[in-house]
Amino acid sequence: MQVLRKILFPVSLVYALVVYIRNYFYDKGVLSSKSFKTPTICIGNLSAGGTGKTPMVELLVAMLKETSKVAVLSRGYRRKSKGFVLADENATVDSLGDEPFQIFSKFPDITLAVDADRRNGITILEDQVKPEVILLDDAYQHRKVKCDFSILLTSFGDLYVYDWYLPTGNLRDSKKEAGRAQVIVVTKCPKDLSDQAKKAITIKLKPESHQQVLFSYLAYDDTLRTIDSSTSLEELKLKEVTLVTGIANPKPLVEYLKSERLKFEHLKFKDHHDFSETELTQLRQKKCILTTEKDFVRLKNKVDNLYFIPVQHRFFDDGETVLKRTLEEFMK
């Protein structure tokens, strides 16, 4: 794969040129960005997947929903529906996509909608729901909407400052576009990340005066869950476990489980993988399956003995307080 990526370097130069021209047209007003009356908060990245956007959206929902009427708008990647879809009690993974369905399952008291056309989605939400704030999931590159507040995520193990454009690298946007964010969060950090390392990373990111740089790590729950029951990670150590992942970067989860001395076989699938009937038949033969929450919403009711491991962002120092205070200032 790495050899192929290097061979495709000329293609990445063309991609970089297209990205540059597109951003230049937006910056100069040749292409228009539309503002909306409802405050919008964008959560996204410059790279292709793997930075923890969904857990970050969930954290923001939890922060804001007690004091504001929150709506989440997502593209609904790889869903089987078309156009604007407003989640309700009949919503499924097929109608919303796995990540939006996961968010709605966890927060059924908020408004969640999917629409590849973010302008259209916001317009309908303002007309039908009238939210007080709209969270735009994975919309950093969607410049047809002028977001009021942007949170840019970058993974500790794959900082955008060291990356290159697709397909040779993972960048889907220019590094200089990081300047549009109010907050940059370095995610998936090791728990023992030192203050010196944080300072060094901050220097490399070169934040502008209006930007805050925060650091977070993934905190995995030691209580594993299924539809109507739960078990502990310790209990799983007595079973024959198969780890099933269909996410962009399963490495942090794999490392965590190994650090907990869990023995398992790992079946790794591509991000947002749509499991075939043949694959489901093979999985049904496994004695105990552990998976991510995103994969769980696609596998539940199809595979028995299925558990998922909850995960959330935890900030270093007072990062969560800083983020919450910053959002409160924005919402005034």
- B/e letters for 220-241, b = 16+ CB within 10 Å, e = fewer, are beeebbeeeeeeebeebeebeb
pLDDT at 54: 95
User: CA quadruple 280, 284, 287, 292: dihedral positive or negative?
Assistant: positive
Q: Do 74 and 81 form a contact (C-beta atoms < 8 A)?
A: no
The pLDDT value given to residue 1 = 65
**With a cut of 70, which residues of the chain have pLDDT below it?**
1
Q: How far is the C-alpha of 224 from the C-alpha of 245, rounded, in Å? A: 15
pTM, two decimals, is: 0.94
Q: What is the DSSP string of 218-269?
A: EEE-SEEE-SS-EEEHHHHTTS-EEEEE-SS--HHHHHHHHHTT--EEEEE-
